[in-house]
Amino acid sequence: MSFVFVSRFLTLLLLLLSSVFSLHCLAKCHIDDETGLLAFKSGITQDPSGILSSWKSGTECCKWSGISCLDGFGTRVTRISLYGQVENPKGFLSGTISPSLSKIRYLIDLQLQNLRNITGTFPIFLYNLPDLSTIYIENSQLSGPLPDDIGKLFRLYALSVSGNRFTGSIPSSISQLTHLSQLKLDGNFFTGQIPDGIRQLKNLTYLNLEKNQFSGKIPDFFTSFSELRALTLSYNKLTGELPPTLSALAPQLGSLEISHNLLTGKIPDYFGNFQRLDTLDLSSNQLTGTVPISFKNLTKIFNLNLRRNRLVDPFPELNVRGIESLDLSYNKFNLGTIPKWVATSPIIYSLKLSGCGLKFRLEDFEPTQTYFYDFIDLSDNQISGSPVGLLNQTTLLKGFWASGNQLRFNMSNILIPKSLKNLVLARNQVFGKVPQSISGLKKVDLSHNHLCGQLPVTKFPVQAFLGNDCLCGSPLSPCKK
């Protein structure tokens, strides 16, 4: 009898345990995770495109849009990744970030990107999530200063609050985030100097502080960053010369952008050591002197922008395998012709040499490849001849600017590429009639030429056609009958 009793007891116990296990496996969502996520949803006041429409109580939250879970027994939410649709005017969320997200104890990755209308301050409740390693809260309306104790997030590998409205200086405790691989604070209203404590972030591979209001000199601390691949400090108020320790980044750095600041002095010779560099943008500063001859070592450079500085001749002959984008406009160069290493590039899409002392016939410019060209800007030079042949070859061209030259050709002969959106030929010697095909463009400037005849119907302002010999019709005076 005792054996039968024990056997029945064990059977009942196994059935009970099996039922409990089954109920757990069939559970739709851990109660804490569901509570935290639904509280976040309740803090959203507008969701016109239904980004959170799948977030419904009692359903399996691991299948909700933007939610990922750790598989296995005891499944918990580990990732929240919500993305607004930039191309969709309704692809945004309005509201605040609920502190109830702190209930999601196993959260590793938080990504709230391009939601546009999320307001409030930096969510300090994230300090309470022990496994959190990634925070991307980008392109929204968070404001106020970063908290002084942001260093408490010392476990982070990536922190981005780019594209918000944060103000004040960067807290000194940022130096405690020593595990960071990526730090993106761009597109805010941060002020003050770049803190020296950033030198402690020795694992950084990506540092972006552009589009703020940082002032003072660039810290000379770059010997700390042996892994840095990309550095962006553009659109600030940084002064002084390029620091010597930038040279320490040469072995690994692929992209360096420090445009639109107040930098002075010469471009250092050490840039010739940056043989992995594919992007260099030092435009819109006050740099002087010549471009170092060591630039010939930049064989992998794809994008070079030195626009609007005070650089002088001679410009070195580069040994690039193929330049994609080049802008040397508005320095004190007298290039004469377009350099051979530019004309022979098989992959170039953007060529901007405005005010570079070019003096040649445009028909003599015979690039090896015209198919990839998107933008050509040769304004304010002494170029003569006709662009008709060039324009008729560039089937993907989006913009052609050549104002302030000595071009002389019949406008009627131009076959405007279907892709073209901008055509600027002001202050030349263009003659003939304006073709009907310009009506499909977004921007046109044909002012101060020798054009004549009735204008086709367009949406362009009168300024686009002023100063010609005998153009008539809207938006100019009516043609005489």
What are the CB-based long-range contacts (under 8 Å, 24+) for 454-457? 454/479
Q: What is the pLDDT of residue 19?
A: 33
- Positions of the chain with pLDDT under 50: 1-27, 73
Going from N- to C-terminal start, the domains of the chain cover: 322-327+346-353+370-481
**pLDDT tens figures, 229-282:** 999 999 999 999 999 999 999 999 999 999 999 999 999 999 999 999 999 999
**pLDDT tens figures, 185-225:** 999 999 999 999 999 999 999 999 999 999 999 999 999 99
CA atoms within 13 A on the CB side of 450: 10
CA atoms within 13 A on the CB side of 435: 14
User: Is the CA virtual torsion 353, 254, 111, 224 positive or negative?
Assistant: negative
Cβ count within 10 A of residue 336: 14
pTM confidence score:
0.91
- For the chain, give the percent of residues with pLDDT over 70: 94
**pLDDT tens figures, 331-376:** 999 999 999 999 999 899 999 999 999 999 999 998 888 778 999 9
Look up the CATH number of domain 322-327+346-353+370-481: 3.80.10.10
Cβ count within 10 A of residue 362: 22
Cis geometry, peptide bond prior to residue 475 (ω within 30 degrees of 0): yes
Q: What is the pLDDT of residue 72?
A: 56
AA letter at 199: R
